[in-house]
Amino acid sequence: MNGIPCAREYKVTLCHVCSYVCPDDAHECPRCDSPVHRRKPNSLTRTWAFLIAGLIFYIPANLLPVMYTTMLGSSSENTIMSGVIEFAEGGSWDIAILIFIASVVVPCIKFLVLGLLLVTCQRRSTWAMRERSRLFRFIELIGYWSMLDVLVVALVAALVQFRGLSTIEPRLGILFFGLVVVMTMLAAMTFDPRLIWDAEVEDVR
């Protein structure tokens, strides 16, 4: 310990909704009536559950088509990756990279980082705690940008509705992809970053 005291030593707990300093034994914040916990309840188990659900949904999200296009008689189905490749081949590298980052890189980073945080917290590792804290704040920040592809499909499908000429429809893959984003967001919300630092002190909870 480097001389910075913990909330525990003063018998206080932070309310995550209004930042009020609550007494240790409170179950409800005296100021805003939200439930308060010294640590989020069952944080590790619940985060694992959301993370694994997200990983499972990620498989159909990539395999199933997200969009169905008919253009002057010919029709095609696109998955997320084939959409990216189409952009790249069409010469719009910037958009291809943007969608690739939002739909592939961001979810994968979230899976990896959350997995790493969960494993290191379970082992009560004191390795790189400050950096792991930073990593957590980073994935909290980037998480929702994965919604990009869902919104693009929604906009494009709503616009291109010319019967007989050209239509675009959303397909099942986009549902799974949206669920991946929701699951990883919930996983990040249920993870308690204070667990990273609990490895420093004995007898937590």
Partner 1 sequence: MTPATPAPMTDISHRQAHASEQPPVPAIAETQTRADQWIICEHCDSVYEAMPLNKGAAAYCLRCAAILRRSHRLSIEQLLALSIAACVLFIFANVFPVISISMQGLHNEVTLWGSVQALAQGQITLIALVAGLAIILAPALQIALLFWVLAHAHRGEIAPGFKMCMRTLEHLRPWSMLEVCLLGILVAIVKLAGMLDVHAGVGLWAMAMLMVLIVLIAGKDIRRLWDELGVGPE
Closest distance between partner 1 and the C-beta of residue 115, in Å? 19
Cβ contact 40:25 at 8 Å: no
| CB burial readout 164-174, b (16+ within 10 A) else e | eeeebbbbebb
Closest CA to 71 of 178, 156, 184: 156
Which one of the spans 6-14, 53-61, 74-82, 116-124 is the region binding partner 1 (CB under 8 A)? 6-14
Q: Is residue 17 involved in binding Zn ion (CB under 5 A)?
A: yes
How far apart CA 66 and CA 53 sit, in angstroms, is 19
Residues in the interface with Zn ion (CB under 5 A) total 8
* Residue 68 to residues 14, 40, 73, 186, Cα–Cα distance (Å): 49, 42, 13, 29
> How distant, in Å, are the alpha carbons of 39, 151, 160 from that of 168?
47, 14, 6
Q: Which two tokens stand for residue 34?
A: 């939200």
User: CB under 8 A: which stretch of 29-37, 43-51, 55-63, 120-128 binds partner 1?
Assistant: 29-37
Q: Name residues contacting partner 1, limited to 78-97 (CB under 8 A).
A: 87, 90, 92, 95
Return d(Cα 188, Cα 7) in angstroms, integer.
Answer: 22
Binding to partner 1 by residue 189, rule CB under 8 A?
A: yes
Q: Is residue 124 at the binding interface for partner 1, with CB under 8 A as the rule?
A: no
Nearer CB in complex with Zn ion: 32/160? 32
Choose among Zn ion, partner 1, none what residue 165 binds, the Cβ cut-off being 5 to 8 Å by kind.
partner 1
3-class state of residue 22 by DSSP: strand
| Residue of 48, 58, 136, 191 that binds partner 1 (CB under 8 A) | 136
Interface with Zn ion, residue 201, by CB under 5 A: no
Which residue, among 27, 73, 102, has the nearest Cα to 166 in the 3D structure?
A: 73
155 binding partner 1? (CB under 8 A): yes
Note whether 152 binds partner 1 by CB under 8 A. Answer: yes
Which residues 54-113 are close enough to bind Zn ion by CB under 5 A?
none
Q: Among partner 1, Zn ion, none, what does residue 123 contact (CB within 5–8 Å per kind)?
A: none
Asked whether position 20 contacts Zn ion by CB under 5 A, the answer is yes
Nearer to Zn ion by Cβ, of 32 and 148: the residue is: 32
Instruction: From 9-17, 53-61, 107-115, 118-126, give the range in contact with partner 1 by CB under 8 A.
Output: 9-17
How many angstroms separate the CA atoms of 68 and 40, rounded? 42
